[in-house]
Structure 1
Amino acid sequence: MRAFLIIAAAFLIQGTVQTAQAEDIPLPRAKPDPNAPAPAQEDQIINLLDREPEPLFSDAQLPYAPTRSFDAGEGDGLGQGALYLMAKLTQDSQPLNDGLIWRIYSETTNANGKLELVATSQGGDAEFRLDPGAYLVHTAYGYAQSTNRVVIGKEIQSKMLTLNAGGIKFGAAMKDGEGIDEEQVTFDVYGMTFDERGERNKIVGNVTPGSIVRLSADTYHVVSRYGSVNAVIRADIQVLPGKLTEATILHKAADITLKLVNERGGEAIANTTWSVLSAGGHVVVEATGAFPDFVLAAGEYEALARNNGRTYLHTFEVVPGQDREVEVVTSISELASQANVLNN
């Protein structure tokens, strides 16, 4: 089905994260300078996290003035090093103040063959006391992630991550501009590549209209569903670093309620089994009850109602934005009229 999409971009102040590069920070009085130039990157390493590592931290060691004092009397504090971490959305943006999740893993695996989680922190900047050695620093911000390597000695050092990311704000409407029941609309976000089974990797599902999803700067395949039947729109949406993309998906569908009645305007007959067929004769949806309700994509359909051993057929059309009741009448005169229409 053709995708109808309205996209607008705005600057994202607290955006998303993925591709990360490390830059060393000159000696400040309180915290590292977020605008320091980035050093050359090291080679990537293979680790046992759930994704490939991003470009690594530099191993250059630069001291900084920590924001919080360390108690030298705590455990083996005198033999540990201090690591101060900050992240910003783009090269020119300000450091992020919240929404970050930092995880520190040991570089070597434990007896179970897994990386050991050493420490975690949530919010903006983070400080860690670590024994000397090599570690993997996993950074998550929304649905974007990055993994970097750092070597810790007994000194204090600081690092800045530059995160190449943005976000999408989702919206939905009817193609003619009319309103839509947003409670029945959801969005799924997929990557652009396919796996060996020919399926896309789902990044996040069941996103509701008005939600903002933070993502790495890239192009994504978005699937919007209105209802649970066949009103589905697909679109490829690009996320730009440091910006919020406002994407409004335009649907062509309507909410249809079916009724089996003895005469036009009559009471609905209970215990009715329904099948809705496409113009090509394929079953679109089935249900049982007096008032089955579906959101259907625009087009022509046939409603088959079965009750008390009899089957009744009615052809109807779904017009975008025109929610309505469709009556299937059991009277002989109505069935004869339908037969004449079908024969002609």
Structure 2
Amino acid sequence: MTRFVTPTLAGLMALLVWSTATAQTPAVPSLTQNPPPIPVGRVTVSASAVFADNNQPIRSGLVWRVYEDRGDTVQPNIVSRSSSPTPTFNLSPGNYIMHAAYGFAGASKRLSVQAGILTERLTISAGALRLKGAVGESPIQPNKVSFAIYVPMAQNSEGRLVIANAKANEVIRLPEGTYHVVSTYGDANAIMRSDLKVESGRVTEATLNHRAATVTLKLVGSAGGEAFAGTAFSVLTPGGDVIREAIGAFPSVTLAEGDYVLIARHEGKVHTRDFKVESGLDRDIEIVVPPT
């Protein structure tokens, strides 16, 4: 008898984590779609997965695992795995749990395998995100922007973290639902947030638009002159909060649009100036050392 399991998002995430932790367990290789003759006493199980909303087949991005089912109180052993979209498993008669992971989404099903050739289809409520960053009409280079993705939760402004450092243009497979996305441009305070909906069977593409610019910090003897090496810079808000610190002749920092205070320390002397960051206007910020 075949019995369905309807896992929760948390349950699927836990199963994925557990599967990763057991990845070193020796696995029985899965068969291809053109298997050799089935040994006596074995059962062939062919599997496939579809999207929940339209029953369209999932043709890529799947990872299949088959576990020996020894009851709810005993941790199951993995007996086979495959990354084929339509794998075929050669199993001994018995009880199993079949799980298909689609990125951070997935579905599972309990199987009672006795004889013959079985065909199983899992339904997954999942879609994907593809994210980009931009400043105005100018795209941000993918290596300069990253994304954190959260599941919204009650009484929590961001929610539970799902992915800490997703890359631009990456296809991020997720369970169907709404997510809170935080985009960070550079490594300072250029941050944008958005709530995005993932629909089953669809790739949601979104561009998070930053109001920011990259400035190059310099301590010079005259306007446009050569920068002094070994200068320690601090970028502060007008209220005194430190945003970024750097050491060098001309370090660069990406900052959100707004007003700032720059402090430069060199050879025991401290120099300061106020400056403004305008979105999309990359430029040098110089402090000119007054003549002695």
TM-score by length of 1: 0.71
Q: Summarize the alignment of residues 116-131 of structure 1 with structure 2, pairs less than 5 Å apart.
A: 116-131=77-92
Separation in structure 2 between the aligned mates of residue 205 and residue 42 of structure 1, nearest angstrom: 29
Contact 1:257–1:326 under 8 Å retained in 2: yes
Q: Structure 2 vs 1, CA of residues 273 and 69 (structure 1 numbering), >3 Å: closer, same or farther?
A: closer
Paired residue for 2:172?
Answer: 213
Q: Could you tell me how far 1:115 is from its partner in structure 2?
A: 2.5
Q: 2:132 aligns with which of 163, 168, 171?
A: 171
Q: Summarize the alignment of residues 70-149 of structure 1 with structure 2, pairs less than 5 Å apart.
A: 71-72=37-38, 77-108=39-70, 114-149=75-110
Query: Would you say how many aligned residue pairs link Structure 1 and Structure 2?
Result: 273
Identity of aligned residues (%): 35
Paired residue for 2:205?
Answer: 246
Separation in structure 1 between the aligned mates of residue 147 and residue 258 of structure 2, nearest angstrom: 22
Paired residue for 1:51?
Answer: 14
Contact 2:126–2:175 under 8 Å retained in 1: yes
The one-letter code of the counterpart of 1:288 is I
Separation in structure 2 between the aligned mates of residue 330 and residue 99 of structure 1, nearest angstrom: 58
Q: Structure 2 vs 1, CA of residues 283 and 69 (structure 1 numbering), >3 Å: closer, same or farther?
A: closer
Q: 1:184 aligns with which of 135, 138, 144?
A: 144
The superposition leaves residues 12-61 of structure 1 with CA deviations (integer Å, 9 ceiling, x where unpaired) of xxxxxxxxxxxx9xxxxxxxxxxxxxx9956879xx986269xxxxxxxx
Q: 1:152 aligns with which of 98, 107, 113?
A: 113
Contact 2:3–2:111 under 8 Å retained in 1: no
1:294 match: secondary structure: strand
Tell me which protein shows more strand as a share of its residues.
Answer: 2
1:314 match: secondary structure: strand
The superposition leaves residues 76-103 of structure 1 with CA deviations (integer Å, 9 ceiling, x where unpaired) of x332322111111235343233332110
Q: Could you tell me how far 1:146 is from its partner in structure 2?
A: 2.2
Q: Structure 2 vs 1, CA of residues 314 and 43 (structure 1 numbering), >3 Å: closer, same or farther?
A: closer
Separation in structure 1 between the aligned mates of residue 285 and residue 6 of structure 2, nearest angstrom: 65
Q: Could you tell me how far 1:142 is from its partner in structure 2?
A: 2.4
Q: Structure 2 vs 1, CA of residues 253 and 70 (structure 1 numbering), >3 Å: closer, same or farther?
A: same
Contact 1:172–1:251 under 8 Å retained in 2: yes
Q: Structure 2 vs 1, CA of residues 144 and 201 (structure 1 numbering), >3 Å: closer, same or farther?
A: same
The one-letter code of the counterpart of 1:253 is A
Q: Could you tell me how far 1:198 is from its partner in structure 2?
A: 9.3
Separation in structure 1 between the aligned mates of residue 161 and residue 201 of structure 2, nearest angstrom: 23
Q: 2:193 aligns with which of 221, 224, 234?
A: 234
Q: Could you tell me how far 1:316 is from its partner in structure 2?
A: 0.2
Separation in structure 2 between the aligned mates of residue 148 and residue 52 of structure 1, nearest angstrom: 13
Q: Structure 2 vs 1, CA of residues 103 and 199 (structure 1 numbering), >3 Å: closer, same or farther?
A: same
Separation in structure 2 between the aligned mates of residue 165 and residue 179 of structure 1, nearest angstrom: 28
Please identify, of 179-188 and 121-130, the stretch whose mean Cα deviation from structure 2 is larger: 179-188
Q: Summarize the alignment of residues 7-26 of structure 1 with structure 2, pairs less than 5 Å apart.
A: none
Separation in structure 2 between the aligned mates of residue 144 and residue 168 of structure 1, nearest angstrom: 13
Paired residue for 1:58?
Answer: none
The one-letter code of the counterpart of 1:115 is P
Q: Structure 2 vs 1, CA of residues 44 and 181 (structure 1 numbering), >3 Å: closer, same or farther?
A: closer
Separation in structure 2 between the aligned mates of residue 88 and residue 187 of structure 1, nearest angstrom: 28
2:70 match: secondary structure: strand
TM-score by length of 2: 0.83
Q: Structure 2 vs 1, CA of residues 194 and 260 (structure 1 numbering), >3 Å: closer, same or farther?
A: farther
Q: Structure 2 vs 1, CA of residues 42 and 93 (structure 1 numbering), >3 Å: closer, same or farther?
A: closer
Q: Structure 2 vs 1, CA of residues 43 and 331 (structure 1 numbering), >3 Å: closer, same or farther?
A: closer
Contact 1:255–1:294 under 8 Å retained in 2: yes
Contact 1:194–1:201 under 8 Å retained in 2: no
Note the residue ranges of structure 1 that are not aligned, 5 or more in a row: 1-23, 25-38, 54-66, 334-344
- Please tell me whether Structure 1 or Structure 2 has the larger radius of gyration of its CA atoms: 1
Contact 1:91–1:162 under 8 Å retained in 2: no
Note the residue ranges of structure 2 that are not aligned, 5 or more in a row: 17-32
